[in-house]
A and B are shown apart, each in its own frame.
Chain A
Amino acid sequence: MNAPTEAAEPKRQGRPLVALVGNPNTGKSTLFNRLTGLRQHIANYPGITVEKKSGLLRACGSEMDILDLPGCYSLTAVSNDERVVMDVLGGRRGLQKPDLLVFVLDATNLKRNLLLVSQCAELGIPALIALNQCDAAKRNGIRIDVDLLAKRLGVPVVETIATRGNGLEELKRAIVTALDAPSALPKIHWPDCITHGCGLLRAGFQGAGSSDLTQAEALRVLFDSDSVFTCGVSDKACVKKLLDTAHKEIRESGLNPGSAEAVIHYRHLETLLDGVVEATGPIARSHDSIDALLLNRVWGTLIFLGVMYVVFQSLYSWAGPLMDLIDAGTSATQDLTRPLLSANPALQSLVCDGIIAGVGGVLIFLPQILILFFFIALLEDTGYMARAAFLVDKLFSWCGLNGRSFVPLLSSYACAIPGVMATRTLSDPKARLTTILMAPFMSCSARLPVYILLIGTFIEPLYGPLVAGAVLFAMHFVGLALALPLAWVLNRFFLKIKAQPFILEMPDYRVPTLRNIFHRIWERGREFVMRAGTVILAFSILIWSLLYFPRDPEVKERATQSLLASAALHYAPTDIQAALENPESDLSAALIHHIDSAYIEQSYLGRFGKAVQPVFDPAGFDWKITVGVLSSFPAREVIIATMGIIYNLGADVDEGSDDLRSVLQKEKWTSGPREGQPVYTLPVVLGIMVFFALCMQCGATVAIIARELNWRWAAFSFFGMTALAWLSAVLIYQVSSLF
């Protein structure tokens, strides 16, 4: 564990650091955006995927760094977000300790918002208060005596309305003044049992040879059984013994150690706020009548389904034209570039099929990401997201997910990339992890072409459109039906993270501001392109090279000779010569397809596919299916084009292509015990579809999971899903072979 860095505190290097602290839903981030504009920098805190949002603030001729800390209700660190707050405020883990804390408080719920302020008082960092949402408080009939509040707290209080930018200049001036003449919050007077407990812990920690605890840290250890400070101590038994003694003493004084901290703070705050907050008449909360409708058993459910339908449709259908546009842009760029590099075929292929296709492959996700985050920002800012989570929590609670998993999982039906990114809205780390791991199981739109090709080719002609439709419908639930029980198993037996209670604040309904919504969309879009995008690009270049190399010229010669030899059986040599000279002729096209097919067969990936075909043999896959399956690991939608190449039809086939369908129907085993039998029997077809339903054939998803969690989880997800997919395909083939 790092040694405490308190000693270095007053040494101010360069610009002073101001941190924004506050509960969720207080408008803290809006205020941050207002203060910094687009002069923001988003990075990660070292070692964990919590966003560090910092920016530059210019006010009254001075410059300072401003940090937007994650929203939290208290210093009790359960999630990573809350841990970061404690790390920053304590100046731990090499982070710079702020010179000034600006508490952003929701004026409509002052008492609860002040709990965090009261906790932070113990840290002794200079502070000031931004009393936000004053307009809403006034509307709710709450009058706040700001001067009295400032006097009681001992720090300046500025009224703001962040959404409209009111009070910004006053706040900036107050920040500059407070940096020059800092004033700290008065510390709370703790009962003897707690002061004594802290003393016990501090002495005990010193005795155990670990780093010394400050009074503020000792309080965290006392009230927060798995606080960051106990994590670094090797002698857990010793800590537990100390805590048991301290807790026993608290209990003997008639307090419950679990709630004691909040009880004492609230008691203190009630005295502090006496005469400060005055409710003029009965509190008229705007949300009561809206909730009566939106949370109603019947209407609430219907409205929820309607809202989610719109979100899903927008991802599934409305993003389509934009994605087509990006696709067209990619091909146009490829077509423009290809002739420029014709002198060097390898470079040409690298630039066109590797880089440009890769960049296009990154950008193609943007429409869905932007649209999804538009809706998420809208739902969060209006206050509906918490209600939606309330409505559907029961559907997910049994398997370790929670109501907030719904939107990410639903979005994953369109695409897992925005779905995984949307799990940021889950504050419970365990539920978030599980939701991320389950997201790739949802049947995304890239799986649809495979289903349509195989169902249309093999199931519809045999069993009619009704059965075909039913199978297509069922395929969309295969992943979900497996994912939820898997989540249960994972949570029950494997994940060693403590589950958090699912306690939600139902925030007041608010009118969202476009400015805020666009800011969030911009953040997400930029983050995806800059961070996940680079990894996805690297992936696609890697896969390109595996499909391109070694590119032995002999392969081309042999393929040409074999095609010409078979053509010579049917045509006169002069006709062949004439056909070859005309690049538009069928023979020329066939030759190109033949060469492409031979190259893919001879590529590293093709050789690998042939080598591992025995692995897929128990599922009834021949080497062509195996190569198709392997080449679609970077992106499952390429299977159709790969199959087109493998079956000598060229890459331009689609799932509705009659040529491809008839080739597949006619395909027979050419060797082995099944020689002469059709390759695509019903069990094989079902096996391929289930394989695609369960397999993580998407490099972009692997990359985004690595971004959101880490590479270990990404690998776990990748190998786990692949194994599951293989097992299911084998099971289907083997079981149905018994009949």
Chain B
Amino acid sequence: MKRTLDSLKVGSRAEIEDIASDCERANRMATLGLIPGRMVKVTRFAPLGDPISVEVDGQEISLRRAEAHIIQVKNISE
């Protein structure tokens, strides 16, 4: 089964495999550096569990779980 970014625990790393949705959201996320092939690290969850904060290419980005859900990841090290 494909794992998605929202399923990762705090502290885990993974490689972005693909962004599922077409255009718009994918475009936005890709612009900020969430593109296939890059490593992401989940740095923390917000106090209420959502959104989550990830590190990619030396920058910190916050996104909601619903958005993280469209990012497929592989090579997970938890």
User: What is the size, in residues, of chain B's interface with A at 8 Å between Cβ atoms?
Assistant: 35
CB 8 Å contact bits of B17-50 with A (1 = contact, 0 = none): 0110111111111111101100000011011111
The answer to whether the Cβ of A225 comes within 8 Å of any Cβ in the partner chain is yes
Q: Does A713 belong to the interface (CB within 8 Å)?
A: no
Cβ of B19: which chain A residues have Cβ within 8 Å of it? Answer: 256, 258-259
Given contacts A258-B27, A393-B51, 14 further A-B contacts (CB under 8 A): A78-B28, A111-B57, A223-B23, A256-B18, A256-B22, A262-B33, A295-B53, A301-B47, A393-B46, A501-B28, A501-B63, A503-B28, A503-B32, A505-B60
- Closest beta carbon of chain A to B5's beta carbon, Å: 12
Is B64 on the interface with A (CB-CB < 8 A)?
yes
Shortest C-beta distance, A243 to chain B (Å), equals 9
Residue interface bits A271-304, CB-to-B below 8 A is 1, else 0: 0000000000001010100010001010011000
A247's partner among B22, B27, B47, B58 (CB-CB below 8 A) is B22
Residue of B nearest to A386 (CB): B62
Verify A76–B28 contact, CB threshold 8 A: yes
A397 on the interface (CB 8 Å rule)? Answer: yes
Residue from B28, B33, B44, B67 in contact with A295 in the complex, judged by beta carbons closer than 8 Å: B44
In the bound complex, CA of A394 to CA of B44 (Å): 14
Contact B24 A394 (CB under 8 A): no
Considering the complex, give the chain B residue whose CB is closest to the CB of A263.
B35
Contact A502 B51 (CB under 8 A): yes
| Residue B61 at the chain A interface, CB threshold 8 Å | yes
Q: When chains A and B are docked, how far (Å) is the Cα of A258 from the Cα of B58? A: 23
A327 part of interface (Cβ distance < 8 Å): no
Cross-chain contact of B46 among A257, A266, A391 (Cβ < 8 A): A391
Q: Is the CB of A501 within 8 A of B48?
A: no
Chain A residues with Cβ below 8 Å from B26 are 256, 258-259
- 7 tightest A-B contacts by CB? A258-B26, A262-B30, A259-B30, A394-B48, A506-B60, A504-B62, A74-B31
Would A259 and B53 be within 8 Å (CB), given that A225-B23, A386-B62, A503-B29 are in contact? no
Q: Is the CB of A262 within 8 A of B35?
A: yes
Give residues 449-504 of A contacting B (CB, 8 Å): 498, 500-504
Determine which of A223, A498, A506 lies in contact with B62 in the assembled complex, contact meaning CB atoms within 8 Å. A506
Does A518 belong to the interface (CB within 8 Å)? no
* Bound complex: CA A389 to CA B33 (Å): 20
Indicate with 1 or 0, residue by residue over A205-231, a CB within 8 angstroms of chain B CB atoms.
000000000000000000111100000
Partner of B24, one of A258, A295, A392: A258
> Contact mask A655-678 → B, CB, 8 Å, 1/0?
000000000000000000000000
Contact of A395 with B23 in the complex, beta carbons under 8 Å: no
Q: Is the CB of A76 within 8 A of B27?
A: yes
